[in-house]
Amino acid sequence: MNTVARVAADSVGAAECISVTKYPDGMFNKTFLMTMEDGREVVAKVPNPNAGILHFTTASEVATMDFASRILGTPAPHVHAWNSQAKSHPVGAEFILMDKVKGVPLSQIWSTMQLQQRLKVIIAMTSLQKKWLSVSFSHYGSLYYAGDAQSSAGSQYVKDGMAVKQSGFDIGPATGRDWFDADRLSLDIERGPWPSLTPYLQAIGTREMKAIQSLKPPKQVALFCGPKLYQPHAENTLIALASYQRIVNALTPTHTSIANPRIWHNDLHDDNIFVDPHNPERITGIIDWQCCHISPLGLAPRPTLSGLSAEEWSAAKREYTIQNVFIGWRQLMQAKSPDLYCAVEFRKTAAYGPTSSDLKDTWSDLAGVTSDIPFPVDFSEIDIERIKLGSDDAAAETGLVSKVKEEVGDLWPDKGLIEHERYDGYKAALDEVKAQILKQLA
């Protein structure tokens, strides 16, 4: 820690670091606020062992923030110093030293903002997203500085219709969390970069098949576990993945606005969006670019800009203000970012979420299918019944989880974390709900 403090001071030309304050723990990193003798503040970020692939995760995060700032005009933190080779640095760990973002998280003031201010935030976010959509890449994977990617993809990007070569950036292995979560880091799999969409989607299927075949199943976080409750079966999942691999060509979107490789912030929620507290419609920073990767726009997550309580969420569809925010965001997206709007609409099609044998009925409607290509998977009546039962059971249990979230209300922990001061209340609420579920299922 003393070495990090010295490096931080040197990185901004300060005499010394006089104070180190630890931020609350995150899921994947330790972060510290380091204050210099002249009052300047630097944030130090040190990845936990579960943060991702050694070297690549840190190297990609730094390059992505730089690209977002310089090329995409996004207020991302400025990096003063960083290291992705833990064994060769005196600190003995990977780290990033960057400016503290000005302003406050949007989550702190969203509930107090007027409708007009909320809509202005939506407009500001739409403007940023439009800048993100002005760039497409030659490969799928993750972004690095040239030399750090350890690949020879010969990648380039296109901005506003102009090809940019030898930009100082390159595309290398994907660092998205789905490539290393639940011990996937140990798998011998292809991690990119990929020059086209079909092999990228095939690699995802291969990754999941190998994970099921060779890894211990992770503890369920989306479903409850117990007698009478639905649990996924490895055999059924492998059958589904094998079917996916046979039809993936037809599922590949052909519209360039959806299929083109794009960079997107994959954790864009109101804790990672900073605004000016005195002028909340002015976005001062977007943080947490770790594990952002280059993928089809159709797979990019949508932003979560609301800090609503459980009660407000339950009534959201009836509340005029919330309706206006959603409608405003959708209309802005359609007018200002038609590519993003097209990607959101794509999510409503059978090609985006082929979760059952129903895809057979809509096979001829898929863009990549010609009339003379038959549906490549044979489902027997027994198969169809098994799939339907499994789908119905999974849907029922997902509903049970949603009901518990509603019961617990705003005590439900985001990403599995609960603040110290709310721990006792959360535990009591969870015990009560657990007793209710046991009574229902007994």
Mention every residue, 6+ apart, whose C-beta is less than 8 A from residue 243: 377
pTM equals 0.84
CA pair distance 16, 212, nearest whole angstrom: 51
What are the E-state strand segments in 354-398?
A: none
CA pair distance 138, 140, nearest whole angstrom: 7
Question: pLDDT value at position 300?
Answer: 66
Question: pLDDT value at position 124?
Answer: 92
AA letter at 376: P
- Sequential DSSP letters for 209-271: HHHHHHSPPPPPSSS--STTS----HHHHHHHHHHHHHHHHHHS---HHHHSEEE--TT-BTT
Question: pLDDT value at position 361?
Answer: 72
Residue 58: Cβ within 10 Å count: 27
CA pair distance 178, 203, nearest whole angstrom: 12
Question: pLDDT value at position 203?
Answer: 95
Q: In Å, how far from its chain's centre is CA 189?
A: 21
List per-block mean pLDDT (blocks of 10 residues) for the chain, which spans 442 residues: 96 97 90 97 95 95 97 97 95 97 94 88 90 93 92 81 90 92 90 93 94 84 74 86 86 81 89 94 95 85 54 50 64 76 75 63 65 76 85 83 79 72 87 84 70
Q: In Å, how far from its chain's centre is CA 44?
A: 22
How many angstroms separate the Cα of 398 from the Cα of each of 53, 217, 410, 412? 31, 19, 19, 15
Domain boundaries, the chain: 105-378, 382-442
Provide the token pair at 381. 């009546």
Question: pLDDT value at position 8?
Answer: 97
How many angstroms separate the Cα of 335 from the Cα of each of 123, 253, 283, 341? 11, 22, 21, 9
CA pair distance 286, 402, nearest whole angstrom: 29
DSSP alpha helices (H): ranges in 55-143? Answer: 56-70, 106-109, 115-132
